[in-house]
């Protein structure tokens, strides 16, 4: 199967750049429900135009609806999807499992691609999505190509090959939501991985003021052969918030790589890629990059590419010795890390110039109050932008056939091989004075001008001494071109959405039970002594030691590369692949599954999940909307007290800094102090504890069944006090 190059489009100019530079498909978003809310994105009218434009050139369109969907939004989202279906989008990229269920129910012919936000990283998750009717999965960026190639599935697989990386497993980050109110699961990420942190141990700074969580940019341009030989069908470029010239040029480069597995980038192409955007480059986990090469500690922004040195300066001018050309209109970053556009460029004779070559000495205005020597970096490449803007427009090759003989019908056919349109015209008459030549007919029919088409082959069977009016031939050409465009842009039959009324369930108004997560034996013993209803353990050794108790559950990881076998074990699961355990075990779903609507909750109920832990991102009024439509056979649990995990990372921060793994470490900046937990993965814990103990009566009215304590560093006395306070509130 032909590999697909999938490019981003944050606006119409980026869409054109992607199409004209060789994308097989583009992904984009409307104004809502996309994971890049702060890109320009497309209005409803623009979405229809975008689909027509892309389809005209044989490019597929995938629309992102890849946020978690709250209960009160379901009707509006489905109406939006009805519109997307009816304008002919080729697939939806979706995060929310509940929404996947609804799309398959109401739009059975519309393809679903599971977003990377769905956190898919093992074969059991893929099997789960396959049962939901998902056609393609965008795999977690933490997976290696070696492991991807081992996946035994017929599911279409998609991976990112270039652009920005998240440090946290996608769909698993709560940092932005709980520190800024801008949810990464709602397309509003504030990029808190891109800010400065101190690393602390024993109340001392081990590392001061560095970008400890900011990954470099993914770049796999050296791996064309491996990409082409892999199990992956679709190769995705990140960048819906990047410029059209970035989208166009990166698409052009990977088009060359996918078309020629032995293609090696030229020095100019490498330079251009760096000048467009880079935080430093990494081959990422796709090709098992080491942690040392993964993070850009010194900067979280575009580094640019070196083009020279500041050799002197005064208050008005900066003198630069170039090792690469510099153009008027370029942007540069100077040794004080401030940037500026080169509006005026002077040569050694103090003459204004618009271009300087390698090895030239030039001067620019000192607009940034530079007071030091050092390197100069190009951060905006005007020449490259113009090259992309004025690049060749993509054209569609067509064959033209014409038949014209006296006393027979005129027949003209245009075909792109996949589609054909035919004009069957009037009876051709004999010329009385000025016959039209075969060459002239060919010229008129081939006059495609600003249309998307070009002539690959012209096959004319034209008799001598016939007459056909030139205006008539022009009309035929215009009509056939329009019909061929329409055929290429045709959409599926419109579907009218007929929503079913959601069933309202009466929740059992039973006494709220208490659950708690224990991370060590001291906490476990305190919970047992306080007769907590359900206890979750992170330690398998403790599970084996205390497993004789019938209220003990093992908390499984939320990243599982290979599943173990469990039988007749109570489990708290953190990723969808672990739903396989519902067959032989009592299963509770953890908050990492991002359950925020009844469609997802009822799916879990149908799979015999005993209870769900709802997302901590839900507010009380949203819980009320959600829970009234939730099957009352399944219990509902809420994180009522404790420390949430804000992030889980494959990146090993402690090892990368060559620190003692047996000590406790914290990230700190003006936002707070965040404890780091380390096992196979790195966990960043929240700095503020959730505390809904005083809201227990309200939670009971909503229909909450279980109130959970998510313990972190609490001791026996802390736990005793918490349980006492909760029981007092419960009455």
Render pLDDT for 382-411 as a digit per residue (tens, 0 to 9): 999 999 988 878 999 999 999 999 999 999
Whether the Cβ atoms of residue 502 and residue 598 lie closer than 8 Å to each other = yes
Instruction: Specify if 251 maps to a domain.
Output: yes
Q: What b/e readout covers 336-350, taking b as 16+ CB neighbours within 10 angstroms?
A: eeebbbbeebbeeee
Average pLDDT over residues 643-666: 94
Domain tally, the chain = 4
Could you tell me if 75 and 109 lie in one domain? yes
User: In the predicted model, is pLDDT for residue 30 greater than 70?
Assistant: yes
Looking at the domain assignment, is residue 159 inside a domain?
yes
Same domain, 401 and 376: no
d(CA 525, CA 714): 12
> Residue 179's pLDDT is what?
94
Output the pLDDT for position 122: 98
In a domain, 678, yes or no: no
Taking residues 497-501, what's their average pLDDT?
Answer: 89
Q: Which among 369, 389, 409 is the end of a domain?
A: 389
Work out the average pLDDT over 482-496: 88
Six token digits for residue 658: 């060559």
Residue 35 has pLDDT above 80, yes or no: no
Q: Are residues 102 and 248 in the same domain?
A: yes
Q: Tell me whether residue 443 is in a domain.
A: yes
Q: Confirm if 233 and 157 have CB atoms less than 8 A apart.
A: yes
Q: What is the pLDDT of residues 599-646, one digit of tens each?
A: 999 999 999 999 999 999 999 999 999 999 999 999 999 999 999 999
- Which pLDDT belongs to residue 547? 83
Read off the tokens for 697: 């009566």
Shared domain check, 474 and 352: no
Please, are residues 346 and 317 in contact by the beta-carbon 8 Å criterion?
A: yes
235, 218 contact by CB (below 8 A): no
pLDDT confidence bin for 40, thresholds 50/70/90: confident
Residue 676 lies in a domain: no
Q: Residue 602: which of 1, 97, 84, 77 has the closest Cα? A: 97
Q: Which domain holds residue 8?
A: 4-165+216-280
Residue 39 has a pLDDT of 66
The Cα 77–Cα 32 span in angstroms is 9
What does pLDDT average to over the chain? 95
CA 70 to the chain's CA centroid: 20
Q: At what angle do helices 521-529 and 716-730 cross, to 10 degrees?
A: 30
Q: Give the domain CATH number at 379.
A: 2.40.30.10
- The structure tokens listed for 362 are 């030039």
Q: Confirm if 592 and 646 have CB atoms less than 8 A apart.
A: no
**pLDDT recorded at residue 37:** 64
Query: Residue 414 forms beta bridges with which residues?
Result: 400, 421
Averaged pLDDT, 470-479? 96
Residue 356 to residue 625: CA distance in whole angstroms = 64
- The mean pLDDT of 186-214, rounded to a whole number, is 95
Q: Based on the fold, state whether residues 104 and 151 are members of the same structural domain.
A: yes
Q: Note whether 471 and 520 are same-domain residues.
A: no
What pLDDT is recorded for position 32? 84
495 band by pLDDT with thresholds 50, 70 and 90: confident
User: Who contacts 545 (Cβ-Cβ below 8 Å, separation ≥6)?
Assistant: none
Q: Which residues pair with 361 in a beta bridge?
A: 321
Question: What pLDDT sits at residue 41?
Answer: 85
Give yes or no for residue 297 having a pLDDT over 70. yes
Residue 233 CA: distances (Å) to CA of 9, 38, 153, 597, 677: 20, 29, 12, 32, 36
State how far Cα 342 lies from the chain centre: 34
For residue 716, what pLDDT is reported? 98
Give the pLDDT confidence score for residue 94 in this predicted structure.
98
> Can you name the residues that pair with 94 across neighbouring β-strands?
65, 114
Contact between 386 and 356 under an 8 Å Cβ cutoff? The reply is no
Asked whether residue 1 carries a pLDDT value surpassing 80, the answer given is: no
CATH of the domain at 229: 3.20.20.380
pLDDT confidence tier of residue 36, bands split at 50, 70 and 90: low
Q: Give the pLDDT confidence score for residue 352 in this predicted structure.
A: 95
Question: pLDDT at position 493, please?
Answer: 80
Beta-sheet pairing, 281-282 with 466-467? unpaired
pLDDT beyond 70 at 553: yes
Q: Are residues 519 and 616 in the same domain?
A: yes
Asked if residue 581 and residue 447 are part of one domain, the reply reads no
Q: Is 144 a member of any domain?
A: yes
My answer on whether 524 and 565 are in the same domain is yes
pLDDT given for residue 491 in this prediction:
78
Final residue of a domain: which of 389, 419, 441?
Answer: 389
Q: What is the pLDDT of residues 71-83, one digit of tens each?
A: 999 999 999 999 9
Residue 34 has pLDDT above 90, yes or no: no
Q: Measured between alpha carbons, how far is 587 from 554 in angstroms, rounded to an integer?
A: 10
Q: Indicate whether 383 and 410 sit together in one domain.
A: no
DSSP string, 35-88: S-TTS--B-HHHHHHHHHHHHHTT-EEEEEE-S---GGGHHHHHHHHHHHHHHT
Q: Which residue has the tokens 């940092």?
A: 175
Nearest CA among 310, 244, 306, 258 for reference residue 278: 306
Whether 276 is covered by a domain: the verdict is: yes
What integer is the mean pLDDT of 134-156? 97
Q: Is the pLDDT of residue 509 over 80?
A: no
Contact 217, 675 (CB under 8 A): no
Q: Are 116 and 220 members of one domain?
A: yes
pLDDT bucket at 221, cuts 50 / 70 / 90: very high
The alpha carbon of 76 is separated from its chain's Cα centroid by a whole number of angstroms, namely 22
Residue 284 has pLDDT above 70, yes or no: yes
Grouping H, G, I as helix, E, B as strand and the rest as coil, residue 575 is: coil
- Separation CA 680–CA 286 (nearest Å): 18
pLDDT above 70 coverage of the chain, percent: 99
Does 359 score more than 80 pLDDT? yes
In angstroms, what CA-CA distances link 312 with 218, 304, 344, 375?
36, 21, 17, 12
Matching residue, tokens 């007459």:
467
Q: How many helices (H) and strands (E) in the chain?
A: 20, 41
CA dihedral of residues 113, 9, 239, 5 (deg, nearest 10) = 60
pLDDT (mean) for 122-151: 98
Evaluate whether residue 28 is within a structural domain: yes
Is residue 385 domain-shared with residue 401, that is, in the same domain? Answer: no
Residues 673-702 have a mean pLDDT of: 95
Distance, in Å, from the CA atom of 543 to the CA atom of 559, rounded to the nearest integer, reads 19
Determine the pLDDT at residue 55: 96
Query: Where residue 494 falls among pLDDT bands split at 50, 70, 90?
Result: confident
Final residue of a structural domain among 488, 505, 533: 488
């Amino acid at each position: 199967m032909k590999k697909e190059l999938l490019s981003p489009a944050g606006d119409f100019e980026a869409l054109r750049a992607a199409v004209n530079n060789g994308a097989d498909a583009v992904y984009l978003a409307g104004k809502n429900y996309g994971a890049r809310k702060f890109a320009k994105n497309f209005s409803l009218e623009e979405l229809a135009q975008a689909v027509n434009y892309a389809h005209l050139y044989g490019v597929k369109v995938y629309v992102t609806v890849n946020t978690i969907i709250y209960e009160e939004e379901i009707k509006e989202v489905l109406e939006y999807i009805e519109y997307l279906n009816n304008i002919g989008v080729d697939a939806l990229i979706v995060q929310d499992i509940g929404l996947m269920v609804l799309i398959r129910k109401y739009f059975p012919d519309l393809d679903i691609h599971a977003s990377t936000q769905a956190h898919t990283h093992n074969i059991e998750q893929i099997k789960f999505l396959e049962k939901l009717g998902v056609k393609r999965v965008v795999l977690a960026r933490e997976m290696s190509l070696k492991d991807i190639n081992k996946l035994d599935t017929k599911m279409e697989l998609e991976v990112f090959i270039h652009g920005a990386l998240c440090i946290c497993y996608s769909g698993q980050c709560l940092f932005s939501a709980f520190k800024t109110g801008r949810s990464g699961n709602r397309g509003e990420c504030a990029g808190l991985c891109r800010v400065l942190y101190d690393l602390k141990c024993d109340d001392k700074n081990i590392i001061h003021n560095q970008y400890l969580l900011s990954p470099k940019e993914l770049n796999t341009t050296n791996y064309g052969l491996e990409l082409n030989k892999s199990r992956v069908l679709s190769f995705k470029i990140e960048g819906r918030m990047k410029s059209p010239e970035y989208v166009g040029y990166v698409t052009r480069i990977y088009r060359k790589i996918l078309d020629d597995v032995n293609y090696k980038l030229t020095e100019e192409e490498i330079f251009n890629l760096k000048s467009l955007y880079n935080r430093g480059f990494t081959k990422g986990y796709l090709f098992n990059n080491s942690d040392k090469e993964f993070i850009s500690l010194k900067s979280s922004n575009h580094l640019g590419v070196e083009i020279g040195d500041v050799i002197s300066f005064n208050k008005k001018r900066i003198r630069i010795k170039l090792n690469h050309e510099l153009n008027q209109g370029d942007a540069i970053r100077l040794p004080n890390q401030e940037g500026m556009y080169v509006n005026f460029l002077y040569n050694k004779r103090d003459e204004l110039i618009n271009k300087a070559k390698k090895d030239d000495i030039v001067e620019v205005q000192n607009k940034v109050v530079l007071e030091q020597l050092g390197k100069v970096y190009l951060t905006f490449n005007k020449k490259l932008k113009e090259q992309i803007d004025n690049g060749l427009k993509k054209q569609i090759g067509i064959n033209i056939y014409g038949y014209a003989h006296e006393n027979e019908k005129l027949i003209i056919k245009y075909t792109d091989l996949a589609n054909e349109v035919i004009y069957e015209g009037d009876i051709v008459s004999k010329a009385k004075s000025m016959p039209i030549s075969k060459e002239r007919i060919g010229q008129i029919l081939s006059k495609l001008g600003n249309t998307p088409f070009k002539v690959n082959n012209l096959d004319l069977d034209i008799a001598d001494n016939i007459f056909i009016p030139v205006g008539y031939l022009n009309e035929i050409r215009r009509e056939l071109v329009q019909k061929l465009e329409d055929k290429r842009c045709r959409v599926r039959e419109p579907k009218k959405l007929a929503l079913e009324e959601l069933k309202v369930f009466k929740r059992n108004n039973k006494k709220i039970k208490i659950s708690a997560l224990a991370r060590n034996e001291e906490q476990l013993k305190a919970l047992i002594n306080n007769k907590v209803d359900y206890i979750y353990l992170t330690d398998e050794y403790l599970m084996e030691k205390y497993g004789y108790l019938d209220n003990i559950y093992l908390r499984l990881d939320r990243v599982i590369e290979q599943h173990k076998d469990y039988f007749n074990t109570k489990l708290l699961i953190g990723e969808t692949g672990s739903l396989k355990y519902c067959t032989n075990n009592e299963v509770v779903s953890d908050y990492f599954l991002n359950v925020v609507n009844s469609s997802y909750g009822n799916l879990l109920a149908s799979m015999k999940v005993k209870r769900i832990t709802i997302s901590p991102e839900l507010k009380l009024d949203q819980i009320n909307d959600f829970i009234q439509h939730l099957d009352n056979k399944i219990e509902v649990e809420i994180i009522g007290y404790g420390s949430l995990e804000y992030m889980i990372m494959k990146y090993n921060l402690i090892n990368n800094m060559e620190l003692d793994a047996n000590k406790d470490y914290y990230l700190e900046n003006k936002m707070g102090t965040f404890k780091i937990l380390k096992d196979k993965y790195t966990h960043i814990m929240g700095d503020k504890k959730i505390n809904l103990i005083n809201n227990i009566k309200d939670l009971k009215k909503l229909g909450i069944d279980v109130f959970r304590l998510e313990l972190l560093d609490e001791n026996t006395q802390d736990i005793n006090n918490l349980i006492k306070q909760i029981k007092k509130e419960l009455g």
